[in-house]
Amino acid sequence: TKTISKCYVQVTGMTCASCVANIERNLRREDGIHSILVALMAGKAEVRYNPAVIHPSTIAELIRELGFGATIMENCEEGDGILELVVRGMTCASCVHKIESTLMKTNGVLYCSVALATNKAHIKYDPEVIGPRDVIQVIKDLGFSTSLVKKDRSASHLDHKQEIRQWKRSFVVSLVFCVPVMGLMIYMMVMDSQLADARAHHNMTSEEMEALHSSMVLEYQLLPGLSVMNFLSFLLCVPVQMFGGWHFYIQAYRALKHKTANMDVLIVLATSIAFLYSFVILLVAMAEKAKVNPVTFFDTPPMLFVFISLGRWLEHVAKGKTSEALARLISLQATEATIVTLGPDNVLLSEEQVDVELVQRGDIVKVIPGGKFPVDGRVIEGHSMVDESLITGEAMPVTKKPGNTVIAGSINQNGSLLISATHVGADTTLSQIVKLVEEAQTSKAPIQQFADKLSGYFVPCIVAVSVVTLFAWIIIGFVDFEIIEKYFLVRKSISEAEVIIRFAFQASITVLCIACPCSLGLA
């Protein structure tokens, strides 16, 4: 008996099915090569050869001569099939042992573990020697009933509908309350600039200024220290902080729990501090019954939330688009296959319906007109037209006759075909495409990794800078009060220390709030 070895070759430069046919046809002619199977999407060739006659490096050389890139894959474990089963009827540890020991003795089973508590069996096998149906049969013969662990074919993990809804809601809430806040803010700016002009042209005293200031509608005090403007801003800000910022708070809490700082932490820090600071200042002003209205930051949180929730919403919509395409691809896969047993002269002896996962390499599968091909394979008998537009985009049906290859997921049109399965399970073209797209989605662009790394340092730095700002201004203020006096309208009614602390606080909050949209740049 001659020994047959198996090697895997990574093949690059294949563009279409004719490349695959070309490689297979040419290599089959060579001495010592027993069989060859090429998977286009995976870019992988599986060659069974006689090591006495030919060496793997020679095989790779032969493929190179045909104009493709080829390298031998060293430790290729991908040849192992993995089977997850639910086993019913086990009562105790001896049942488990019985199943495990019997399977391990079975030729072709490489590894097997059965869990009594979950009723699950995890089996690795060599698809060359044994297939999933044989394994299931062995377990059935022992007197247990088995079924496949149902894979989630709906691809629900790719569904972004809920996130899209949640961010859209968040955005709309923030927007509804943000518009009036911005309106108020712009109105105040316009009025302030008019005041500045008035002061420039007429040399008013500060008492006259304050009189003019408080004559404005929005500066009208409802209660001492509480102006219409601040009251309205406060009312508009609360719902945004509660509903618009809800998800940010949850995310930030989770991040801090794991001792990391992310974008959400910054956003929450800036908005919360701006909100609380403004709120406290209002309370202080009301307690003091201040004549002049304090400067508040109620405009910050709504605007931040609007921009960021809009960004998140758009991001999830984009993700949803690619995922939708993936989910559609996954849904193209057939769920069942009809396996037939052939007698001499291709006479049909029997046929049975099985789950697609149970189709083994080398099985003969019957595909009726209008049916989907469950696996990649080669036609043995029958003539038909096949719609392969899902892979090739070619709208015209393609003729298939014995010897032609067929692709899983494509649709058989008019004739009945018998095909021999060449690629099953995760090796089919469709599964490979799904895997490629999934990998492309999960792998990060280098710039994105860089941004993530930066934002790890970014948050603590900004917080540190704003704390430094706070203390720096407090020190400057106590050393040289004139500097602050120049920048800050000093009110006669409050003490020097309070002016300094208010100003310092205002400066440090500003740093936080401004750095926060800067994280938008990172995003």
Selection from 109, 487, 95, 510 nearest residue 273 by Cα: 510
Contact status, residue 513 vs residue 507, Cβ threshold 8 Å: no
Residue 356 per-residue DSSP state: G
Percent residues over pLDDT 70 in the chain: 86
CATH topology of domain 81-149: Alpha-Beta Plaits (3.30.70)
Kindly write down the DSSP assignment for every residue of 101-153, as one continuous string: HHHHHSTTEEEEEEETTTTEEEEEE-TTT--HHHHHHHHHHTT-EEEEPPP-T
Domain residue ranges of the chain, discontinuous segments joined by +: 5-72, 81-149, 157-323+445-515, 333-434
Other C-beta atoms lying within 10 Å of the C-beta of residue 28? 11
- The two counts, helices (H) then strands (E), for the chain are 15, 19
Percent residues over pLDDT 90 in the chain: 13
Sign of CA dihedral 7, 51, 129, 110: negative
pLDDT digits over 250-279, tens only? Answer: 888 887 887 766 667 777 887 888 888 888
Q: How much is the pLDDT for 156?
A: 57
Kindly write down the DSSP assignment for every residue of 190-223, as one continuous string: HHHHHHHHHHHHS---HHHHHHHHHTSTTT-EEE
Which helix (H) or strand (E) is 366 found in, with range? strand 364-367
- Half-sphere exposure (CA, 13 Å, Cβ side) for 53? 13
Other C-beta atoms lying within 10 Å of the C-beta of residue 337? 26
Q: How much is the pLDDT for 364?
A: 93
Q: What is the C-alpha to C-alpha distance for residues 358 and 356, in angstroms, rounded to an integer?
A: 5
Selection from 66, 21, 67, 65 nearest residue 40 by Cα: 21
Q: What is the C-alpha to C-alpha distance for residues 356 and 401, in angstroms, rounded to an integer?
A: 23
What is the distance of C-alpha 110 from the center of its chain? 34
Lowest mean pLDDT among 65-69, 108-112, 226-230: 226-230
Q: What is the C-alpha to C-alpha distance for residues 126 and 3, in angstroms, rounded to an integer?
A: 17
Residues in the chain: 523
Q: How much is the pLDDT for 462?
A: 81
State the pLDDT confidence band at 522, using cuts at 50, 70 and 90: very low
Q: What is the C-alpha to C-alpha distance for residues 396 and 404, in angstroms, rounded to an integer?
A: 17
Helix axes 246-257, 263-288, angle to 10 degrees: 110
Kindly write down the DSSP assignment for every residue of 371-438, as one continuous string: PBP-SEEEEEE--EEEE-HHHH---S-EEE-TT-EE-TT-EE-SS-EEEEEEE-GGGSHHHHHHHHHH
pLDDT at 187 over 60: yes
pTM of the entire structure? 0.58
Question: What is the identity of the amino acid at 282?
Answer: L
Lowest mean pLDDT among 57-71, 109-123, 147-161: 147-161
Contact status, residue 130 vs residue 108, Cβ threshold 8 Å: yes
Contact status, residue 290 vs residue 493, Cβ threshold 8 Å: yes
Q: What is the C-alpha to C-alpha distance for residues 75 and 268, in angstroms, rounded to an integer?
A: 49
Contact status, residue 512 vs residue 462, Cβ threshold 8 Å: yes
pLDDT digits over 207-245, tens only? Answer: 666 665 555 666 677 777 777 778 888 888 888 888 878
Q: What is the C-alpha to C-alpha distance for residues 185 and 370, in angstroms, rounded to an integer?
A: 65
pLDDT at 140 over 50: yes
Contact status, residue 121 vs residue 139, Cβ threshold 8 Å: yes
Residue 226 per-residue DSSP state: E
Which helix (H) or strand (E) is 332 found in, with range? none
Lowest mean pLDDT among 132-146, 228-242, 406-420: 228-242
Residue of 23 and 257 predicted with greater confidence: 23
Percent helix, strand and coil across the chain, each to the nearest 5: 55, 20, 25
> Hey, what's the torsion of the CAs at 258, 263, 267, 270, to 10 degrees?
80
Selection from 46, 63, 64, 52 nearest residue 7 by Cα: 46
- Half-sphere exposure (CA, 13 Å, Cβ side) for 282? 22
Residue of 158 and 333 predicted with greater confidence: 333
**The CATH classification of domain 333-434, taken from the options 2.70.150.10, 2.40.50.140, 3.50.50.60, 1.10.1740.10:** 2.70.150.10
Burial bucket for residue 159 (CB in 10 Å: 0-12, 13-18, 19+): middle
What is the distance of C-alpha 377 from the center of its chain? 33
Residue 240's contacts (CB-CB under 8 Å, 6 or more residues apart) are 173, 174, 177, 178, 301, 302, 305
Instruction: Give Rg (Cα) of the chain.
Output: 36
Residue of 391 and 291 predicted with greater confidence: 391
Lowest mean pLDDT among 90-99, 317-326, 336-345, 352-361: 317-326
Other C-beta atoms lying within 10 Å of the C-beta of residue 470? 18
**The CATH classification of domain 5-72, taken from the options 1.20.1250.20, 3.30.70.100, 3.55.50.30, 3.30.70.1060:** 3.30.70.100
Q: How much is the pLDDT for 90?
A: 85
CATH fold match for the domains 5-72 and 81-149? yes
C-alpha pair distances (Å), 432 with each of 10, 46, 131, 148: 15, 16, 20, 21
